[in-house]
Amino acid sequence: MSVQVKGSVGFLGLGVMGREMARNLAVAGFAVKAYDVVPTAIEAMAGTGVTPAVTIAEATTDADIVISMLPDTPQVEDVVRGKGGLLSNPPRGGLYVDMSTIAPEATRILAADLLKAGVRMLDAPVSGGPVGARDATLTIMVGGEAAAFERARPFLQGMGTTINHVGASGAGQTVKLCNQLICGINLQAICEAFALGRACDIDLVQMREVLMGGSASSWMLEKLGEAMIEGDTSAGFRIDLMMKDLRLVLGEAQQNLVPLPATGLVASQYIAAQAHGEGANGNQALFRVYDRLTGRPTRRDATASLA
């Protein structure tokens, strides 16, 4: 029995998040053609039901909707304004959803320019990390025209479960930046609690479990706490990407005259982590800043030194 195709997607950016999201769209019954600047990222999609494309135009020209999941503002500018990009080669469906986390102001300018070329752009950044991307349970915050959002909704439902239209163009990015502000400060709070507990010879494994049952519980404590204690720095959401987000948060704050002292302090901790070569590691590596401040090893380091 042939599977009925629900619509066509041109997907740009097959990194930690994008490869899972593109795969889920194919599983949900959409015809997905995907492109990445790194050929091995495209090759890695073999067997997922996603069709590889060797140029942006090949992925996007005939698509009902184009979706991008790229690192930062310059890469999104590139797929819109660059060679074979959406401005010079508008997709057939006239709908573009950028799910990367980028600057709200840049989003508004891109959306206005794309509209002149007949393309509606939505900003739809996500929260939920690689696990949310894998399980199609992402939280998606969408800015842009309500009618375009309704057209995009069935596609977004292939990648996430909590999907909200939060305002005009750029509003999705602003809500995402507020999300990141809370995540960063929360992670910093956990680092401080773990550093203090460890210095006082408290069993951090037990402490985390106790805290999870009380009012200090949080997504960060649940998802990253164990890896922090174990000294497992494997990447999921990288330190470099969070620093990019905090830079965007502080830029918005400056532009809108909002003092964010705690965010500024947390950004300094992330800079310290980057300066010590942690940029490509996961966010839990923020705790390693405290290894240096307090001179205490992580649990895993301690085990290794005993071996």
Number of residues that bind ligand NAD (CB under 6 A): 28
The reply on whether position 52 binds ligand NAD by CB under 6 A is no
Q: Which of 7, 10, 13, 158 binds ligand NAD (CB under 6 A)?
A: 13
- Annotate the chain with DSSP letters as a single string: -PPPP--EEEEE--STTHHHHHHHHHHTT-EEEEE-SSHHHHHTTTTTTPEE-SSHHHHHTT-SEEEE--SSHHHHHHHHHSTT-TTTS--TT-EEEE-S---HHHHHHHHHHHHHTT-EEEE--EESHHHHHHHT-EEEEEES-HHHHHHHHHHHTTTEEEEEEEESTTHHHHHHHHHHHHHHHHHHHHHHHHHHHHHTT--HHHHHHHHHTSTT--HHHHHHHHHHHHT----SSBHHHHHHHHHHHHHHHHHTT---HHHHHHHHHHHHHHHTT-TTSBGGGGGHHHHHHH-PPPHHHHHHHH-
Q: In this chain, which residue has its C-beta nearest to ligand NAD? A: 15
The reply on whether position 129 binds ligand NAD by CB under 6 A is yes
Q: Looking at beta carbons only, is 18 or 172 nearer to ligand NAD?
A: 18
The reply on whether position 15 binds ligand NAD by CB under 6 A is yes
Q: Which of residues 205-244 bind ligand NAD (CB under 6 A)?
A: 236-237, 241
The reply on whether position 69 binds ligand NAD by CB under 6 A is yes
The reply on whether position 250 binds ligand NAD by CB under 6 A is no
CB of 117: closest distance to ligand NAD in angstroms?
A: 18
Q: Which of 18, 94, 143, 160 binds ligand NAD (CB under 6 A)?
A: 18
Residues recognised as catalytic = 176
The reply on whether position 80 binds ligand NAD by CB under 6 A is no
